Structure 1
Amino acid sequence: MTDAELAAKLAEDAGALLLKLRDSSVLTGRELGNAGDKAANDMLIAALRDQRPDDGLLSEESKDTRGRLEKDRVWIIDPVDGTREYGEGRSDWAVHIALAIEGSATIGAVALPSLDLTLRSDLPIASPARNSKLRMVVSRSRPAKEAVAVSEILDADLIPMGSAGAKAMAIVRGEADIYLHSGGQYEWDNCAPVAVAEAHGLHCSRIDGGPLRYNQEETYLPDLLICHRQDSNRVLDLVKAL
């Protein structure tokens, strides 16, 4: 398999495992989320060590090691992005599988298992449609203050949603137009979504306009902007002016 095919297969296999676990388990809420995280992570780590033993690896659910910093190719994964949503039986959670090459989000797959859908960097679907009235995806529980402020200026509708992957894929799927986040994330939260969004022609950057860099010693990557290219400069300027 190519790297992109492997990313998609792993995302889909983990998604299937998670759905089976949720459907058959007596666990709910946080306990189910924790069980799903472990089961999916164990499967993904074993598969990547078997299929790409020479590559580096960074997972939310595994202890980080400095060895990955010596690698040009590093798999960055989030076995369950939106553990809370998964445990609550919602659909807005995702599985992230990405390959960063020399610090860039090069290859990615984001599975939305509850929707039976996987978005891939190597198989872009039709270009996402931009709505005449802009729509912004924000956190269900704590919308970023910058996003709320920008939405008011743009007169954009806010769409509360769970995981970062679900939000980013809402832009790719044409269900929203702007994902502006400033509340804190890590590399595994957005590497795969960024790879997929960029492959679909969308703008992806930090909220100061800087590049998103991966496989860094510090994995904290607190903010990002994903939107249509025609809106990027305006949104960045508005954030700068806040």
Structure 2
Amino acid sequence: MTESGGVSAVTDDHALAADLAGTAGRILLGVREEVGFADSRVLKDTGDLRSHEYLMAALAERCPGDAILSEEGRASVTDARAETPTANTADEVRLQADRVWIVDPLDGTREFSEEGRRDWAVHVALWEKGRLTAGAVALPAQGRTLVTGPDGAIVADVTGTEPLRVTEPAVGLLRIAVSRTRPPAFVRRLAEVLDVNVELVPIGSAGAKISAVLLGEVDAYVHAGGQYEWDSAAPVAVALAAGAHASRIDGTEAVYNRKDPRLPDILVCHPVSASTLLTGIRDVSDALPE
């Protein structure tokens, strides 16, 4: 195993997730240089495809017995253990598997296609027997990878690694990450009912938003506008390892590796903010998207 973003080359699932996400990120940076930004659709499609094909092939080679669920593997469904896999493991196989890799080859295609934007990511998560056990979120344009580990979480860059632990928000202020293009109305309503000052901070991809919480750049991410398991699996794995609260917006556990991969809402924050945010969300539940 090679090194990726400062993560030591050791043969465990945490390091494998980091290596895969980091390598896919470097592929995407290369696509940006090769294709350029003149045609955003070509850039998005090329990035999605190359990252997906790399991840599917690498997982088939390194973990041939594991199932795979990728955002870009939905068009057709085959056994991911095929010689040149491009599609997801068949549902009937995946749902019986003990180990399932849940990946988003390019989270934030809009931001990826805009020159100078750094808020896009690659997600690689491992689900085992009912829970997330490893995950990595590569932020290629930022030169960082957030990774689970046996003793918590770390953030890695070219200089090395540091422990990653979610930080408590300042008293009387909550900075909440929201979509930069479609800020949900219910989060604006939430900001009005909370008994603290709220700053809405626009950020691109879901992975970049949750990473911003863990890196102390914002205090919370609240989303109810529709997502899938690959949008949150890796960031939630890292968030939990970093001591963050991560749940559905009704406070229940986010459950992965289901037949229907839709997982439309998520809350990630420091545990001290969870009760306040969950109560506020209940207060504005009439404004939640259908």
Give the TM bin, normalised by the shorter chain. Answer: over 0.9
Say if 2:146 is the partner of 1:119: yes
Aligned to 2:50: 39
Q: 2:166 aligns with which of 102, 115, 128?
A: 128
1:8-36 deviations in Å (ceiling 9; x for gaps): 00000000011011012245312101100
The separation in 1 between residues aligned to 2:282 and 2:50, in whole angstroms, is 42
Distance 2:193 2:249 in 1: 16
Counterpart CA distance in 2 for 1:58 and 1:163 is 19
Confirm or deny that 1:56 pairs with 2:67: yes
Contact 1:104 1:212 in 2 (8 A): no
Q: What one-letter code is carried by the residue in structure 2 that aligns with 1:230?
A: V
2:272 to 217, 230, 234: 230
Deviations 1:57-80 (A, max 9, x none): 000001342121110210000000
- Is the 8 Å Cα contact of residues 168 and 272 (structure 2) preserved in structure 1? no
**Cα deviation, residue 128, structure 1:** 2.8
Report SS of the residue matched to 2:73.
coil
Residue 187 of structure 1 and its aligned partner are, at CA, apart by 0.2
**Structure 1 outlier segments of 4+, above 3 Å:** none
Structure 2: how far apart are the matches of 1:36 and 1:161? 20
Query: Paired residue for 2:178?
Result: 138
| Between structures 1 and 2, the one with greater helix share | 1
**Partner residue, 1:17:** 27
- 1:149 Cα offset (Å): 1.6
Using the size of structure 1 for normalisation, the TM-score is 0.97
In structure 2, the residue matched to 1:6 is 16
Q: CA RMSD in A?
A: 1.2
Structure with higher Rg: it is 2
User: By how many angstroms is 1:146 displaced?
Assistant: 2.5
Letter of the 1:163 partner, please give it. S
Whole-angstrom CA distance in 1 between matches of 2:12 and 2:188: 41
1:205 equivalent to 2:250? Answer: no
How far is the alpha carbon of 1:152 from its aligned partner?
2.5
Aligned residues: 242
110-119 or 136-145: bigger deviation: 136-145
Q: Who is 1:76 aligned against?
A: 102
Does the 8 A contact of 1:30 with 1:84 survive in 2?
no
Mapped to 2, the partners of 1:77 and 1:206 lie a distance apart of: 19
For residues 84-141 of structure 1, the C-alpha deviation after alignment (integer angstroms, 9 at most, x for no partner) is 1101121100000000112322210000000000000114324232332210000011
